[in-house]
Amino acid sequence: MAVRREFIAAAAIILVIILVAAYLATRPEEVAPAATPTTPAQTTPTGATATPTTPVGTPTTPAVKHVEIDTLRISQRADLSSIDVQVATDAPTLSVFSHVYETLFKIEFDEQGRASFKPWLVESYKQVNETVWEFKLRAGVKFHDGSPLTARDVKASFERGPKVGGLPRILLGPVKEVQVVDDLTFRLILKYPFAPLIAHLSHPSTAIIPAKVAELFPDKPIDDIKYIIGTGPYRFVEFVKGERTVLEAFEGYWGPKPTVKRIIWYPVPDDSTRVSYLEAGRADVITHVPPHLVKSLKDKGFQIVQIPSTRVIYIGINVERIPDARVRQALNYAVDKNAIVQVVLEGAGSVATAPISPAVFGYTKLDPYPYDPERARRLIREAGWEGKELVFITPQGRYLRDREIADAIKNYLEAIGLKVRIEVMEWAAYINRVTTQKDFDLFLLGWSTVTLDADYGLYSLFRTGAPFNRMLYSNKEVDAYLDMARETANPALRQQYYALAQQLIWKDAPWIFLHYEDIIVAMKPGLVKVEIQPIERWILTYAMLEVRG
Amino acid sequence: MSTVSLLVRDPITAFALVVVLSLFFFAATADWVAPYSYRDADLWRRLQPPSREHPLGTDHLGRDILSRIIYGTRPTLLVIAIAVVVAIVTGTLIGLFSGYFGGKVDLVVSRVIDALMSFPAILIALAIVAVWGSGLEKVAIAIGIAESSVFARLARGLVLVEKEQLYVLASRALGASSSRIIFRHILPNIAGPLIVQATFTAAAAILWEAALSFLGLGAQPPTPSWGLMLYEAKDYMRTAPHAIVFPGLAIFITVLSFNILGDALRDLLDPRFRRLMR
Amino acid sequence: MLLNYIAYRLTLYIPTLFIILFVVFTLVKLLPGDPIRVMYGEINPPPEVEAALREKLGLDKPLIVQFLLYVYRIFTGDWGKSIATGEPVLELAVRRFTATLELTVASLAIATVVGITLAYIAAMKPNSAIDRLIGIVSMAGYSMPVFWWGLILILIFSVNLKLFPPGGREGLESLVLPALTLATVNFGIIARVSRAAMLEVSTQDFVAAARARGFSERRVMLAYVMRNAVITIVTLVGLRFGILMGGAVITETVFAYPGIGRMIVETGIFARDYPVLFGGVVFVALVVMTVNLVVDILYAIVDPRARVARG
C-alpha cells in the first residue's frame, strides 16, 4: 500500500539521520597530527615572555622577521566589570586597563620568575625618613587628551582612590597624605613605616588618572567611557558591553612605541566557545584555556603558555567552629592534593608549599601535608570528632573546577569518618555569605597576591582581625611577625619574619592548603613577545608576528 | 473499555507507558539493579568512554554513568511529584475560586495570571531559586509555582463552563454551600483535563529542572539528578561527549513518554474519540 | 464595539505592567548579595565605599520608596545606568533585544516553514501512519532539553564538521545553530496546531463547497485551508511569544549570544546589576504584552465574536 511505503521510507530516513547524528555527537574530538612542526609550545617559568627559541642544531632556516601587527584580537572569559580603574578588582578588567593606564612603578620578571619593581612614571625616588618618601616624576609624559602628567594628578588619584574603591583603599591604606612639592615632585607621608610601599605602587589600582577626572567624580565611579583617560600606550576607543572593547595605540605615548596598532578584547564566558574562537581565527590569543583541551590545541599547532599564577586555592576552616588544631591538621592529611592537581585540574596547577605563591617576595618553601588518611583518622578519633557533620560551602564557575574540587574533597573527608554537607551557591550569594555570615565550617576560596609582596598575602588573610581573615584565625605570635615585617625596611629581616610566620600558620592549619592555579594561555602560531604575567595579566603592547622571510 | 487497555492498544503509547512505569521500577530497585553506587568516585578513572565495565562510561569524578542514570530516576520522580502537586493544588484552587465566584476577585486574579503568563517564566523560577538557594526540593517547588498559572487558567475555564450546568444550578437551588458544590460536584467532573495537564506538567518539570541545573541552580552534588549530570559534563563535551549525551537521552525519552501519554489520555477523555475506538 | 474593546485592553495594560514590576522587584530584593559585593570579588568593599555607593544607588531607602521610584523613573524614560559600566540601560536593552529579535525571527521562520510543511503532509492523510510519525517527531522537538540539544548541535556541526561557529554574533553563520536549536523546540507545536487547524477548517462548509465545485483536494487545501490556518498560527505565535523569549534565554547562554535573555540572567541576576535587571525585565514584559495586545486586536478585527470584554 502506498501509505505503508511512505511510512517506511520516512521512518528509515529519520532513523538514518538519528544514527549519523549520534555517531557525530558521541565521537570525541579528533585531532589530526600537526603537518609541519611549528614553534614549540612553551612551559616557561614565571613571568616569561613567550618567545620561540630555535633549538640548537637545526639546519639553517630561512631568515625570520618580526613584523608589527595591525589588529590583535584577544578573548578573555569576562567582560569589563567596571569602567573605572580605581573600582575594578578583577584580573580581566585590570588586564585591559594595564594598557590604558600606568602606575608609578612597573613590575618586571626575570627568568626565574622573580619580580622586581622598576621606576616607571617615576624617574627617581628616595626615602627621606621612616615615614616619608619623595618621588620625582618623569618629564614629558602626556595623558591621552594631551595634558601633561603632574604631581597634582598623583595627589588627586591617591585621594580619590581610597574613597571609591576597595583595592586602592587597601593598597594606599598606609598613606596619610600626598604633598605636592612642585610640578614633578611629590612626597608620600605614611601613617607608619611601610616596607611594601613600592610594590603597592605598581598595582593598576594605584594607576594615575587625570586630576580633572578625579575632581568630576570625587566619590563615585565614572559613568562614561570618555573619562577613561590614562598615560598608557593605548587609548580607550570603544566599549560594547557583552561584545567587545577596543583599544588603539596612542600617538603621543612617552615610552617605547607599541607594535600593535589596535587591540580588540572579546568577552566569551563559555570555555568551549572561547577555544573555538581561537581555532576559527576569530581570536589570536585566548586566556583561561581549559586544561583538557591543551593537548588538542598543541596538536593543531597553536602555542600554549602555561605558568603558575599567584593565585592560591584553599579551603578556609572556620577556626571558631573547629578550634582543635588536630582536626584541622587531619583535614590536611585527609586530602590527596596531588591527585586533585593531576586529575581534577589535569595538571593545571601545583601543590601549594606555602600560603603564598613562590613568585611572591617573602615566600618560604614548606613541606605540604602528605596524603595520610590513616593519620587523619587517628587524629579525628583522638579529638573525638568521628561522625561529626561539617557544612562546606563552595561557589561554582569562579575558580577552575571549583565545584569538582569540593566534590572530591567531600569524598576524602568522608573517607576518614566525617560527614560533609556541600552547599553550592552562585557567586553573588556565595561571596555575600562568606563575608557576612559564619554559619559554615569550610569554604572554598582563592587569593591572588597581586602586589607580589607577602604582606598583601599574609597580613590580609592571617592577622587577627584582618579584613579577609574569614577563618577568624588568631595567633599573637604570627601577628607580631607580620607587624614587624611590615615596618622593617630591611628585606633580609622581612624574609625571616615571614618565614617564621608561615611556619606557624602551616602548623596551625587554618586552611586546607590546596594548590596554586596555573595560567594557561593559547595563541596562534607565529605570535611572539606577548607577555604573560603570573598575576594574571597579559601585556600585548609589544607583540609581533614572526614571519619567515 | 478500560483506560489501560485502550492505552496499550497503540504500540507507541504502550512504549511510553512502559517508560514511565520503569521510572518507578528503577527508582524502587536501584540499589539492586545498578551495577555501582552513584557516588563511588575514583578520580583516576574519570571520563572513560563506554566499556565492558562501564557500559555508558564514567563521569568527571570517575562514577559510573549507567548507575547514576538508574539512580537518577529517584530525583526525577521527586521533582515531578513535588512540582505537579504544588502546581495542581495552588493553580486549581486559585482557578476554581476565581472562576466560581467571578466578579471583582476574578477580574483581579485573571489579570495577575495573565501578567505572569505573558512573561518568560524561567526568569521567575530563576529568581525564586536564586533567592531561596538551590537544592532539589526548593527547585521543584519553584517549578511548581511557575507552572501553577497553567492550572489556574485551565481550572478557571473549566469552572466557568461547569457552573452553568444543570446539576450545579440544582445544587444551588437546594441550598448547598459553595465549597460543597465546588469540591464535591465540580471538581470530580473537571478532574479529567486536570490529570491530562498534570502529565504535561510532569514533562515540563523535568525540562525545567534540567534548565535550572544548567544555570547552576539545580540539585546539589552528589545527587544523581540528570540535569545536574548534564551541567557537570558540559565542560568536557569535546573530549568526553558520552557524559553529556546519555543523561540527555534519558531526559529526552522520559519527557517524550510523558508527552505521548498526556496526548493519549487527552484523546481518551474526548468522547468523540472513545466512540471511534469501539 | 471594536473601539471599546481596544480601549478596554489598553486600560488593562498598565496594571498588568505594574504587577510584573512588583513581582520582579520583590524577588530581586530578596536576593542575597548586591552588585557592589559582586564587583569586589574576594575583597570586601570598604564600609565607607559601600555606604557611599548604596546611597548613590538609593539602596538605603525603604523598600516601598525604592519601588515607587523605579516605577516613576521607568515611566518618565529614565531607565538608569548599569552599575558596572555606566551604560544607559535603555540603549543597552534595545541593542540586546535587537539581537534576540534576530534570533527569534530566524528560528520562527525555520520553525514555521518546517512546521507547516509537516502539518500539511499530516493533514493530507489524517490518522495514517505518516500522520502519527509526524506527530511523534513534533513531540520529540519539544521534549528535548533546549541546551542539551544546542550542545549536541555544536558537537556535530561545530566541533566535528566545523561548519558553523559555536557562538557569538558575527554574521549570519553564527545565527544558524542557535536558530536551529530554538526552532527545534517550536516547530513541533506549530506543526500540531496547524494540523489541527487545517483538519478542522477542511471539514467546514466552504471547503465542501469548493470540493463540490470540482477543485482537487490539493488545491482546496492550499487555497482555503492554509489561509485560514495561518490566522490561527499567527495567534499562536503571538501568544507564545513570552515562551519564545524564555527559550531564548537558555539558548543565548549556550551559544554565548549577546541577547537580552542572557543580559537579564548574567548581568542582571548573577552580577546583581539592578538597573540592568529591571530595565531588561520591563523591556521584555512590554514587548510581550504589546505583542499579545496586537494579536488580540487583530483577532478582534477579523472575528467580531471576539470583541467582547472578558469578565
The pLDDT score that the predictor gives to residue A208 is 96
Check whether A49 has a pLDDT greater than 50. no
pLDDT band at C310 (very low <50, low <70, confident <90, very high): very low
The pLDDT score that the predictor gives to residue C56 is 67
Q: Strand order of the sheet with strand A175-182?
A: A122-129, A132-137, A185-190, A175-182
Written in H, E and C, the secondary structure of A501-528 is HHHHHHHHCCEEEEEEEEEEEEECCCEE
Instruction: Return the partners of chain B (3 or more C-beta pairs < 8 Å).
Output: A, C
Check whether A47 has a pLDDT greater than 50. no
What is this model's ipTM? Answer: 0.83
Q: Report the chain B residue with the minimal C-alpha distance to residue C29.
A: B131
CA distance C8 to chain A (A): 40
Condensed to tens digits (0 to 9), the pLDDT of residues A387-430 reads 999 999 999 878 988 988 998 899 899 999 999 998 888 888 88
Query: Considering Cα of A516, then A521, then A522, then A524, what sign does the dihedral take?
Result: negative
CA distance A5 to chain C (A): 10
The pLDDT score that the predictor gives to residue A33 is 34
Tell whether B102 is within 8 A of chain C (Cβ).
Answer: yes
Whether A311-517 and A101-220 are alike in CATH topology: the answer is: no
Choose among A25, A29, A429: nearest Cβ to B130: A429
Look at B216 and A397 and tell me if their CB atoms are within 8 Å.
yes
Instruction: Write b or e for each residue in A379-388: b if 16 or more Cβ atoms lie within 10 A of its Cβ, otherwise e.
Output: bbeebebeee
Check whether A46 has a pLDDT greater than 70. no
The pLDDT score that the predictor gives to residue C307 is 53
The pLDDT score that the predictor gives to residue C232 is 64
**Chain C residues 7-36 with a CB less than 8 Å from chain A:** 31-34
Choice between B133 and C263, residue whose per-residue pLDDT is larger: C263
Choose among A87, A269, A277: nearest Cβ to C39: A87
Instruction: Write b or e for each residue in A150-160: b if 16 or more Cβ atoms lie within 10 A of its Cβ, otherwise e.
Output: bbbbbbbbbbb
Q: Report the alpha-carbon distance of residue B264 to residue B261 in Å, rounded.
A: 5
Mean pLDDT of A482-491: 90
Tell whether B111 is within 8 A of chain C (Cβ).
Answer: yes
Tell whether B30 is within 8 A of chain C (Cβ).
Answer: no
Q: Report the chain B residue with the minimal C-alpha distance to residue C30.
A: B131
Average pLDDT of chain A? 87
Condensed to tens digits (0 to 9), the pLDDT of residues C26-40 reads 777 777 777 777 777
Mean pLDDT of A441-445: 96
CA distance B106 to chain A (A): 38
Check whether A9 has a pLDDT greater than 80. no
Instruction: Return the partners of chain C (3 or more C-beta pairs < 8 Å).
Output: A, B
Lowest mean pLDDT among A151-160, C23-32, C149-158: C23-32
Q: Report the alpha-carbon distance of residue A275 to residue C176 in Å, rounded.
A: 19
**Mutate: best of A83, A224, A273, A433, partner C, most C CBs <10 A:** A273
Check whether C215 has a pLDDT greater than 70. no
**Chain A residues 464-483 with a CB less than 8 Å from chain B:** none
The pLDDT score that the predictor gives to residue B3 is 64
CA distance B216 to chain A (A): 7
Look at A26 and B241 and tell me if their CB atoms are within 8 Å.
yes
Report the top-level CATH class of A311-517. alpha beta
Mean pLDDT of C243-261: 83
Classify strands A69-76 and A260-267 as parallel, antiparallel or unpaired.
parallel
Tell whether A459 is within 8 A of chain C (Cβ).
Answer: no
Mean pLDDT of A249-263: 94
CB B181 within 8 A of CB B251: no
The pLDDT score that the predictor gives to residue A475 is 95
Q: Report the chain A residue with the minimal C-alpha distance to residue C276.
A: A241
Segment of A20-29, A236-245, B128-137 carrying the highest mean pLDDT: A236-245
Q: What residue spans define the domains of chain A?
A: 101-220, 311-517
Look at B248 and C148 and tell me if their CB atoms are within 8 Å.
yes
The pLDDT score that the predictor gives to residue C304 is 60
Tell whether A27 is within 8 A of chain B (Cβ).
Answer: yes
Q: E strands along chain B, which residues? A: none
Q: Report the chain B residue with the minimal C-alpha distance to residue C142.
A: B256
The pLDDT score that the predictor gives to residue C205 is 65
Q: Report the alpha-carbon distance of residue A194 to residue A174 in Å, rounded.
A: 7
Choice between C123 and C178, residue whose per-residue pLDDT is larger: C178
Q: Report the alpha-carbon distance of residue A137 to residue A127 in Å, rounded.
A: 15
CA distance B44 to chain C (A): 26
Q: Report the alpha-carbon distance of residue C38 to residue C45 in Å, rounded.
A: 10
Look at C249 and B120 and tell me if their CB atoms are within 8 Å.
yes
CB B246 within 8 A of CB C143: no
Query: Cell triple for residue A91?
Result: 584580573
Choice between A505 and A430, residue whose per-residue pLDDT is larger: A505
The pLDDT score that the predictor gives to residue A57 is 42
B interface with A, Cβ–Cβ below 8 Å: 39, 41, 43-44, 46, 49, 60-61, 130, 133-134, 216-217, 220-222, 232, 235-242, 245
Average pLDDT of chain C? 78
The pLDDT score that the predictor gives to residue A242 is 76
Choose among C31, C135, C250: nearest Cβ to B131: C31
Q: Give B-chain residues touching C289 at CB under 8 angstroms.
A: 118
Look at C148 and B127 and tell me if their CB atoms are within 8 Å.
no
Q: How far is CA A365 from CA A119, A362, B29, B254, in A?
A: 29, 10, 53, 55
Check whether A38 has a pLDDT greater than 50. no
Q: Which residues of chain B have pLDDT under 70?
A: 1-4, 6, 118, 271-278
- Which CATH number applies to A101-220: 3.40.50.300, 1.20.120.1630, 3.90.76.10, 3.40.605.10? 3.90.76.10
